Amino acid sequence: MLDTDSRTSVPPARPASRGGTPCSPVPPGPSRLPVRTRGRHAQPAPAGVRLLALAAVFAAALLSPLTSRLDADTLRLVLPTEPKTLDPHAWPPDPGAYPVVMNAYRRLFDLQAGSSVLDATGSLARTARVSEDGLRYTIILREGESFADGTPVTPEAVLFSFDRLMASEAGKALFPHLRFMRIDGPYTFMFILDRPWPPFLASLALPQASVVSPELAGRPRDYLDRNTLGSGRYVAEPSPAGTSVMVRRADASSSSPERVEISYEPDPARRLERYRSLEAHLAEIPGPLPESSVPEGAEVRRYPTWTVRYLAFNFSSGRLKDLKAREALSLAAERAFDHMSTRPQGLLPRGFAGAPAPVPPRGPEAAASGERAAGLLRSAGLQGTPLTLACQEAEEGACPDARSLAGRLGEEGVPVNVTALAGSAGKGIMEREAYDMYLGTRHPEIPSPEMWLGRFLDSRAGVSSNPARFADPAADSRIDAFDASLSRPERESRVKSLASYASQQRPYVLLYQLDETVVADRRLSNIAPHPMWPLYWPFERVDLNPFRAGARPPDPPAPAAAPAPEPVRDFDQTVFELIE
């Protein structure tokens, strides 16, 4: 039994059984967290014809050149979704709040830019140590950090914040095995789990793990709905509906913008019009635009996210139990989306846990790929066999993609009927297994390869998480093995083993990763979102000096060179290492 004192927090008692706990609405394990659509950025941009139609609508709004009156003190953005609350511990997640939350608060750890690798460079924690049994996480805080209200960041502040988090639905869902917390010294804090859970450190980088000032205790209950009280370099100011205003703290870097103004506009055409008329630096748009529509001084930028469009093969369907059939359909489906800019490899998105992506086939390789796909479809006996492909109407662009895939398979001699799912009728179709294939969208909840793979492959996860109905004891045992190991070599080996096994069985194929697309002033050269949170723009890294009076205008962009193929590498091993 651990000693406790007045500085020890004990969440409500709960059993450490494998079947779930009273304060956790989902069973424990690497695959048990619910999959939720995380707002507009977690939904696909319209494809094909719809993108061309949008481009025509937006063209008129973009023909006028940008003015040159943007100043060097205020960063202006036009984004689609106004946050319902700025409370970082709110649940379900509100991605519209992430631009404010991630800049106003800090967490014990962060993720490296564009990566799922933990980083302690600018975080509140200096280091972490994990006990041999994988149950105790000792966090050493940085000294001299403070919240925006002047309160120092201490272990007491961390305890206050995580007590508040664990009393919410967010804490119960994202930290299902956090059993106990205590203060071990002036700058030392300890988390104690009820069983080993490898994704725990990665969870500390989530927006919901933001550390809140203990001075919140004396403020109104809804104070964080419209205000912030964190240790980030920006503070939210009261602002009218449809906007968010943030100001830089006095102790922040003077090279970052003094002020950030975010305007919210749900209609994409009006968003681009406001971008022009309000002289904003950047506006989020729903898809790529032709270069001819881009005004002088601006450019379209596309940033790949870790949100993926995937195809699931229903193992309960007699026609797809044959591995040859799944291999044939996988290759044909990949070819149907060969034109997409970011193609995953295996079951991990590009950049997630260091997963590489192949260069899309071109020229003779594309022709050879097509011949191989046709040959596999013939040998699997699928030509002339009607199949049902289900998609969710609520997922923007999913059903158009499904129809595009159906058309391609039809050209190969495989007739496909697309069934658009909506409401309770759609749920019933999924539960009755009345489909052969399912085209869906998925975004990682936690930057953990174990949890990503587990949600796809765990037979106990339910059809909403495992629409392939993949039930394999060998895969389940590999998923369960994550609970018993925290050492880097073992975790790395087990993730590779599960990923390799899934690639051989082919229950899913990741078709492409969705982009976050913006129109930005060309002078805004050093800002990029994180693929985990596509609407999160790190304001502290933005340089507005090119907008100062007399600054030399930027040179026109040089013709894009053909990208060098990325070296194929194994999973980034640092994702499995503890912060040192």
Same domain, 353 and 474: yes
The whole-number pLDDT of residue 149 equals 92
The whole-number pLDDT of residue 35 equals 30
Distance CA 475, CA 486 (A): 19
pTM of this structure: 0.80
The whole-number pLDDT of residue 220 equals 95
* Main-chain dihedrals φ then ψ at residue 254, nearest 5 degrees: -70, -10
**Count of domains observed in the chain:** 2
Model confidence at 552, in pLDDT bands (50, 70, 90)?
A: low
Same domain, 347 and 461: yes
* Main-chain dihedrals φ then ψ at residue 501, nearest 5 degrees: -65, -40
Distance CA 233, CA 463 (A): 42
User: Between 244 and 429, where is the model more confident?
Assistant: 244
Has residue 52 been placed in a domain?
no
Has residue 9 been placed in a domain?
no
Cα–Cα distances (Å) from 153 to 124, 127, 166, 272, in that order, read 8, 15, 19, 41
The whole-number pLDDT of residue 278 equals 73
CB 231 within 8 A of CB 153: yes
Has residue 258 been placed in a domain?
no
User: 227 is written with which tokens?
Assistant: 């205000």
pLDDT of residue 572 exceeding 60, the answer is no
Same domain, 317 and 466: yes
Cα–Cα distances (Å) from 292 to 295, 301, 518, in that order, read 8, 14, 15
Same domain, 202 and 326: no
- Coil, strand or helix at 324: helix
Residue 184 CB coordination number (10 Å): 14
The whole-number pLDDT of residue 561 equals 53
User: Between 530 and 291, where is the model more confident?
Assistant: 530
Which range has the top average pLDDT, 27-41, 222-236, 322-336? 222-236
Same domain, 196 and 310: no
Same domain, 317 and 448: yes
Range of the domain at 96: 85-222
Burial 128-150 (b: 16+ CB within 10 A, else e): bebeeebbbbbbbbeeebebbee
Instruction: Select from 355, 536, 447, 492 the least CA-distant residue to 117.
Output: 447
CB 275 within 8 A of CB 283: yes
User: 295 is written with which tokens?
Assistant: 């005004």
CB 311 within 8 A of CB 438: yes
Same domain, 187 and 334: no
Last-in-domain residue among 222, 254, 279: 222
CATH number of the domain residue 470 falls in: 3.10.105.10
Task: Write out the H or E segment, with its range, that includes residue 247.
Answer: strand 243-248
User: 243 is written with which tokens?
Assistant: 């906007």
CATH number of the domain residue 191 falls in: 3.90.76.10
The whole-number pLDDT of residue 363 equals 45
Residue 560 CB coordination number (10 Å): 6
Has residue 248 been placed in a domain?
no
Last-in-domain residue among 460, 492, 514: 514
* Main-chain dihedrals φ then ψ at residue 266, nearest 5 degrees: -70, -30
Has residue 256 been placed in a domain?
no
Instruction: Select from 365, 310, 313, 372 the least CA-distant residue to 343.
Output: 310
Which range has the top average pLDDT, 21-25, 51-55, 141-145, 570-574? 141-145
Last-in-domain residue among 490, 514, 538: 514
Same domain, 383 and 498: yes
Percentage of the chain beyond pLDDT 90 is: 44
Beta bridge partners of 301: 518
Same domain, 209 and 332: no
Has residue 564 been placed in a domain?
no
Mean pLDDT across the stretch 281-304?
Answer: 80
Same domain, 309 and 216: no
- Coil, strand or helix at 548: coil
- The most distant pair of C-alpha atoms in the chain lies apart, rounded to whole Å, by 72
Long-range contacts from 144-147, C-beta under 8 angstroms, 24+ separation = 145/106, 145/231, 146/231, 146/251, 147/213, 147/215, 147/229, 147/230, 147/231
User: Between 317 and 292, where is the model more confident?
Assistant: 317
Same domain, 507 and 388: yes
Percentage of the chain beyond pLDDT 70 is: 79
Has residue 442 been placed in a domain?
yes
The whole-number pLDDT of residue 355 equals 65
Distance CA 47, CA 237 (A): 38
Same domain, 90 and 204: yes
Distance CA 246, CA 237 (A): 6
Has residue 577 been placed in a domain?
no
Q: Residues near 45 by Cβ (< 8 Å), separated by ≥ 6?
A: 51, 286, 287, 288, 396, 397, 514, 515, 517
CB 448 within 8 A of CB 456: no
User: Between 394 and 556, where is the model more confident?
Assistant: 394
